[in-house]
Amino acid sequence: MFPMDIPFKAIVFDFDGLIVETEEPIFESYSAIFAEFGLELTLKVWANVIGGTGHRDVLFDYLELQLGRKVNREMIRERARNHHHNDTGKLPAREGVVDLIVEASELGLQLGIASSSTFPWVKGHLDRLGLSKYFSVMCTREDVELSKPDPALYLLAVSKLDVLPNQVFAIEDSPNGVKAAQAAGIRCIAVPNPVTKSMDISHADILVNSLAEINLDEIFRLLRTAS
pLDDT single digits (tens) 2-21 = 444 789 999 999 999 999 99
Q: pTM of the entire structure? A: 0.90
CA 171 – CA 135 distance, rounded (Å): 14
Average pLDDT for 93-122: 96
Q: Known catalytic residue: 16?
A: yes
Q: Which of 5, 16, 162, 205 is catalytic?
A: 16
| Percent of the residues in the chain that have a pLDDT greater than 70, as a whole number | 95
> Cβ contacts of residue 145 below 8 Å, gap of 6+?
152
CA-based max dimension of the chain? 61
Q: Each residue of 152-203: pLDDT tens digit? A: 999 999 999 999 999 999 999 999 999 999 999 999 999 999 999 989 999 9
Q: Known catalytic residue: 14?
A: yes
User: Does the pLDDT at position 44 exceed 90?
Assistant: no
